[in-house]
Amino acid sequence: MESIQAIKQRFEIIGNDVKFNRALEKAIQVAPTDISVLVTGESGVGKESIPKIIHSLSHRKHAKYIAVNCGAIPEGTIDSELFGHEKGAFTGATQTRSGYFEVADGGTIFLDEVGELPLTTQVRLLRVLENGEFLKVGSSQTQKTDVRIVAATNINMFEAIKKEKFREDLYYRLSTVEINIPPLRERKDDIHLLFRKFASDFGKKYKMPTIRLENDAIRLLLKYRWPGNIRQLRNIAEQVSVLEEGRSISLPTLNGYLPNAGNTNLPAVIGQEKREGDFSNEREILYKVLFDMKGDLNDLKKLTLSLLKNNDTEKVQEENETLIQKIYGGTKEEVEEAAESPLEVLHLPRPVEKQPIIQQQPQDDRYHFAEEIEEEETLSLQEKEIELIKKSLDRNRGKRKAAAEELGISERTLYRKIKQYDL
C-alpha cells in the first residue's frame, strides 16, 4: 500500500491538514475493495481527486474510469447517457447507443453531483447497486454490469432526503464509506502553500516572475473565508499573476481581488427555514394573546359573582379598576374617564333593577341572575380581539406600527386583521 506522501506526489496534492490527511487515508484503505464510496464536501474543495486515487489503487485500474457530472446532463436525457437506449426509443434515437454503465463494465464510474439526479434515475441506479442489473431506455432485456461507483455531492443529503429530493435507501447504498473533504477555511496552514504553488505554476505558464505576498497580504489570505475553496484560491492566484505588474503583492492590492474581504468574520446568513417559520411565530403570539384574553374574561366573571354574592361594591370596584388597567393599560384617571363606574365598564346590569326579584326568591333567583350575567359577559374571542385592536389603535392615534408593538404582533398581521374586521 502506498503512503500518503507518495499519493500526494503522484496526484500533485498539496496540504498537511490533519482532517485532509485522514480523508486521503480512508481513500487509500478502501481502494482495494469494491464497496461504494460517497465523497462529501463544499464546492471547490477538490472532491474529484478522491475517486481517481481509489481507481488507481484498485484492481480495476487497467479498466475504464468514467467521470459523469450528473448536474450538467438534462433530466430528459440522463437515463440514456447512463444506461443507453434502443433504436427508436424516443424521437432522435436513430440507432442503439451504449450507456456509461455498459462502457465502464469492469471499471469505475464517478458520479459527481449525485444529489442532482432525478428520482426516476435514482431508482435505476439503486438497482445497479443492488444486483448489477440495468435496462436500456426502450428495452425490456435486462443487462448485467460490473462497475464500482464512487459518488460525490456538495449538498446536505439528510436535508435532501427530508425534502424527498433524494431516496434514503440509495443514500445508504452509496455511502457504505463516506469521505468528507474539509473546506479550505479549516485548513489554515495549507492556504499559503496552495497559493504559492498556484502562483509558481502560473508564473511558468505565462513566462513571468512568480508573484510574492507581503506579510499583511498573507494574514488577509489566511483570514478570508474562501467560500469557493481551492477553486477560488486558484482563480485569485491566476488573476493577480496576470493583471499585476509588480511582483510583490500588498494588502490593499490583494484586498481588491477578494469579494467581501472586509466581512470575513460575519456570522452566517439566516437560512430559509427561519423565514418559513415567521408565520408560525405570529400564530403562537396570537394564540398567547387570545389565551390571556380568555383568562381576563374568567377574572371578570369571578368579579361579577363576587359582587352578586357579597354585595361588597367598594372592594370589587378597587379590584375591577386594577383588572381594567391590566387589560387595557393606562392610568387610574384614564380608566375613570373611560367609564363612569366599574359596573358600566363591565357592562353589568345594575343590581337595583334586580333587587325585587332577589328579595322574592333569594335562593333560586340569585344563581339564575348569575347565569344571566355570565351569559351576557361571555364574549367570543373574535369580539374581544376586535375590541382590543380598536382600543390599541385609538390609544396610539391610529398608528399601526405602535399598535402592533403594543399588541405583540407584526404590523402585517395587524393590517390583515384591520381589513378582515373592516375597522
Q: What is the per-residue pLDDT for 327? A: 56
pTM above 0.85, yes or no: no
Q: What is the per-residue pLDDT for 315? A: 59
Cell numbers for 77, please give them: 436525457
Q: Please tell me whether residues 17 and 157 are part of one structural domain.
A: yes
DSSP single-letter state for residue 166: S
Structural domain span for residue 397 = 279-421
Q: Please tell me whether residues 163 and 14 are part of one structural domain.
A: yes
Of 122-131, 243-252, 285-294, 368-377, where does mean pLDDT reach its minimum? 368-377
Q: Please tell me whether residues 245 and 341 are part of one structural domain.
A: no
Q: Does some domain include residue 274?
A: no
Ramachandran quadrant class, 398 (left: phi over 0; alpha: psi -120 to 50; beta: rest): left
Q: Does some domain include residue 271?
A: no
Q: Does some domain include residue 303?
A: yes
The percent of residues above 70 in pLDDT, for the chain, comes to 74
Q: Please tell me whether residues 12 and 146 are part of one structural domain.
A: yes
Q: Does some domain include residue 269?
A: no
Q: Please tell me whether residues 244 and 367 are part of one structural domain.
A: no
Domain of 32, CATH number, reads 3.40.50.300
Q: Please tell me whether residues 89 and 157 are part of one structural domain.
A: yes
Q: Does some domain include residue 272?
A: no
Cell numbers for 225, please give them: 473565508
User: Which pLDDT tens digit goes with each residue over 220-249?
Assistant: 999 999 999 999 999 999 999 999 999 999
Cβ-based neighbours of 390, under 8 Å, separated by 6 or more: 423
Q: Does some domain include residue 198?
A: yes
Smallest CA-to-CA distance from 157 within 254, 56, 41, 72 is with: 41
Pairing of strands 148-153, 37-40: parallel
Q: Please tell me whether residues 177 and 37 are part of one structural domain.
A: yes
Q: What is the per-residue pLDDT for 103? A: 96
Q: Does some domain include residue 234?
A: yes
Instruction: Tell me the helices (H) and strands (E) count for the chain, helix number first.
Output: 22, 9
Long-range contacts of 211-218 (CB under 8 A, 24+ apart): 211/237, 211/240, 211/241, 211/244, 211/247, 211/248, 211/249, 212/247, 212/248, 212/249, 213/249, 213/254, 214/248, 214/249, 214/250, 214/251, 216/250, 216/251, 217/249, 217/250, 217/251, 217/253, 217/254, 218/192
Q: How far apart are CA 402 and CA 412, in angstroms?
A: 12
Q: How far apart are CA 239 and CA 211, in angstroms?
A: 11
User: How many domains are contained in the chain?
Assistant: 3
Q: Please tell me whether residues 175 and 196 are part of one structural domain.
A: no
What Rg value do the Cα atoms of the chain yield, rounded? 37
Domain of 220, CATH number, reads 1.10.8.60
Q: What is the per-residue pLDDT for 355? A: 44
Q: Please tell me whether residues 15 and 131 are part of one structural domain.
A: yes
Q: Please tell me whether residues 345 and 224 are part of one structural domain.
A: no
User: Which pLDDT tens digit goes with each residue over 246-273?
Assistant: 999 999 999 999 987 665 454 444 444 4
Residues composing the chain: 423
Smallest CA-to-CA distance from 12 within 54, 57, 46, 37 is with: 46
Q: How far apart are CA 3 and CA 179, in angstroms?
A: 18
Q: Show which of 182, 214, 238 is a domain's final residue.
A: 182
What is residue 390's three-state secondary structure? helix
Cβ-based neighbours of 37, under 8 Å, separated by 6 or more: 27, 30, 50, 51, 54, 149, 150, 151, 174, 176, 177, 178, 179
Of 8-17, 83-92, 189-198, 269-278, where does mean pLDDT reach its minimum? 269-278
What is residue 135's three-state secondary structure? strand
Q: What is the per-residue pLDDT for 281? A: 58
Q: Does some domain include residue 56?
A: yes
Q: Please tell me whether residues 89 and 20 are part of one structural domain.
A: yes
Q: Show which of 118, 152, 182 is a domain's final residue.
A: 182
Mean per-residue pLDDT of the chain: 82
Cβ-based neighbours of 290, under 8 Å, separated by 6 or more: 381, 384, 385
Q: What is the per-residue pLDDT for 361? A: 44
Q: How far apart are CA 344 and CA 75, in angstroms?
A: 72
Q: Please tell me whether residues 141 and 25 are part of one structural domain.
A: yes
Q: Show which of 235, 263, 291 is a domain's final residue.
A: 263
Q: Over 50: is that where the pLDDT of 398 sits? A: yes
CB 354 within 8 A of CB 346: no
Most confident of 35-49, 254-268, 355-369, 376-390: 35-49
